Amino acid sequence: MSRPQTRRPPVAQSLLICLALLALAACETPGEVPRLSDVDLDESAGQSAALPSETELSDAGGFLDSRETPAPRAKVQPKGGLLGWLGGQAAAVKGNGPDAREVTFGTSLPYGEIARVCGVSTRRLGAPVAQYPETRRGYVLYDSHPGSSSARALYITGFDDGCARQVTGALALFGDPELHEQLRYGLAGRSLPRGRVAGAYEEVKAEVCGVSAGRPCGRAMTRLARDTAFVSVYPAFGSTSYVNMLLHGGQVIAIEQH
């Protein structure tokens, strides 16, 4: 003969439910999860705070680095791995990064400088001449006077704030992280001077790829290359001097002049 099932009184059942809900609520700690909007804007001018100090850069450096633009460095306190690091970089650039200056559309910039141009339709920026990555729309380079061989306003779009970045040059080229690693980590790269851009790349690579400085990104290169690009801007065709920039995560992370 089966035993009759016992049921808890409604009051006891409600008490158990309440205790369970209280236990769940105690596990909620929203303050422990960093958000990009919660990061303090306390980063350095001229270069992203992701960049190493002058002492650290005595033996570390850039894409094809030589001469650096002087800039003080502030510390970034990482919060929560990649999310926190990117939040710090976003704060660095929005606060006082190399592209913090905003100019009105039509302003003439000296070679080697970068500024933001906001609220302007891409149709007014000129002709789109290159994009990175090539397989999808990310960063796009616009030429204000395509076909000209003289230095002129060039614009890059694809940044988180929706503003274009303006530079001056006769030619600008995108470079991908894989090419940078081939140049930097090959035998010839050992003799290349090193500077801020390469130092910034090493930190970005470490967060995304989980590898130490001086080692290739490896299997995570596809993910890294989705929104990480180098831009070289030349003052004239055939010039050996150029401005080099590192773009990552919709931000200008570092810039230097060679």
Q: Using H for helix, E for strand and C for coil, what is the string for 228-247? A: EEEEEEECCCCCCCCEEEEE
Q: Which residues of 108-120 are buried (b: 16+ CB within 10 A; e: fewer)?
A: ebebbbbbbbeeb
Between 163 and 72, whose confidence is greater? 163
Least confident of 169-173, 186-190, 227-231, 232-236: 186-190
pLDDT of residue 63: 40
Which two three-digit tokens encode residue 147? Answer: 């076909």
Count, residues in the chain: 258
156 φ/ψ angles, rounded to the nearest 5 degrees: -125, 130
C-alpha to C-alpha distance for 127 and 243, rounded to whole angstroms: 21
pLDDT averaged over every residue in the chain: 75
pLDDT digits (tens, 9 = 90+) for 183-224: 998 887 777 777 899 999 999 999 999 999 989 999 999 999
C-alpha to C-alpha distance for 169 and 109, rounded to whole angstroms: 10
C-alpha to C-alpha distance for 114 and 69, rounded to whole angstroms: 12
Least confident of 40-49, 123-132, 247-256: 40-49
pLDDT digits (tens, 9 = 90+) for 106-131: 999 999 999 999 999 999 999 999 99
Q: Residue ranges per domain, the chain?
A: 45-257
130: enclosing H helix or E strand:
strand 127-132
C-alpha to C-alpha distance for 109 and 12, rounded to whole angstroms: 75
